[in-house]
Amino acid sequence: MAERAHGAVETGIVTVTVRVSRFHPETDRSSGQQDYLVPAGPGMTVLDALVYIKEHLDGSLAYRSSCRMGICGSCGMFISGLPRLACQTQIRALGPVVTVEPLPNYPVVRDVVPDLEPMVTHHTAVRPFIVRGGEEQEYPTAEYLQTPVELDAYLQFAYCIKCGICLSACPTLATDPAFAGPQALAQVYRYSADSRDDGRRARLGAVDIAHGIWRCHLAGACTEACPKGVDPALAIQLLKRLIVADVLGIGRRRGPAPVAPPDMQAQRRPDIPAAPPATVPGGSGAQKNQP
């Protein structure tokens, strides 16, 4: 299945055979296949082809999609041997026959719709939110202070759209359903590396277990498959370093980021001119700069 070189000019309409996996939970015991002939113009995605099939060829086809621009993560499918987002996969780059199957390592709801429950269960189990002790968590008084360098430590992993593609690519999850999976582990690192967070210990304890992080042997498939460049493999290896450093008691750890100090009510010096009037009447900047 030779993929075409990037930048090759494609014109006209070619007919592509789309081999879709079919499964109806009430009548089928296992998945079958069905071929559809789809006219593919330049720029057509696999999702466009599925829309075409549903509109013109077979209304009974079930698939999941929403934003059709790689933001929502609904249309993760196993397309021609790799898990990818259907909306971001050019159909004419895949040759004359394109196979579309549901994501592996998930139960199938119907046709190419996977049940993402395993991912969601692991994701929610790792406390994917900023944890701060005390009153500040429930009744915040001000923002936390964070430098751009501290932001870059976790920002890449915050781009996860929870499409579940990395769990399909993972060879460990192929046999071990209890494994937390790349998505959840990457989110453990995303929140543990966040300087505003103070819940690291509980979160790391939840993955430093038999079916936790140490089942990852760096096959790199999750990172390769990730459609958003989130790089879960890197997050998992950095998380391993964090846990090892924690256990050995080495490495520098600063406490959670401080809350921004309250307004000091400073007075303007007479030799400094007053700020121009605020564009938004009554805005906070206007009040501060009044002498």
Interface contacts to another protein, rule CB under 8 A:
23, 25, 28, 30-31, 80-82, 102-110, 114-115, 117, 152-157, 159, 169-171, 173-175, 177, 216-221, 223-226, 228-231, 233-235, 237-238, 240-241, 244
The minimum distance between CB 114 and another protein, in angstroms, equals 8
Q: Which two tokens stand for residue 124?
A: 């929610």
Question: Measured between alpha carbons, how far is 149 from 185 in angstroms, rounded to an integer?
Answer: 22
The minimum distance between CB 196 and another protein, in angstroms, equals 17
Question: Measured between alpha carbons, how far is 93 from 46 in angstroms, rounded to an integer?
Answer: 10
Q: Please count the other Cβ atoms lying within 10 Å of the Cβ belonging to residue 204.
A: 20
220/285 with CB nearer another protein: 220
Cα-Cα-Cα-Cα dihedral sign, residues 122, 125, 126, 129: positive
The minimum distance between CB 257 and another protein, in angstroms, equals 18
Whose structure tokens read 């987002």? Answer: 85
Q: Which two tokens stand for residue 225?
A: 């498959």
10-23: burial string, b at 16+ Cβ within 10 Å, e else = eeeeeebebebbbb
54/228 with CB nearer another protein: 228
143 neighbors 151 (Cβ within 8 angstroms): no
37/178 with CB nearer another protein: 178
The minimum distance between CB 277 and another protein, in angstroms, equals 37
Kind and range of the H or E run holding 179: none
The minimum distance between CB 59 and another protein, in angstroms, equals 19
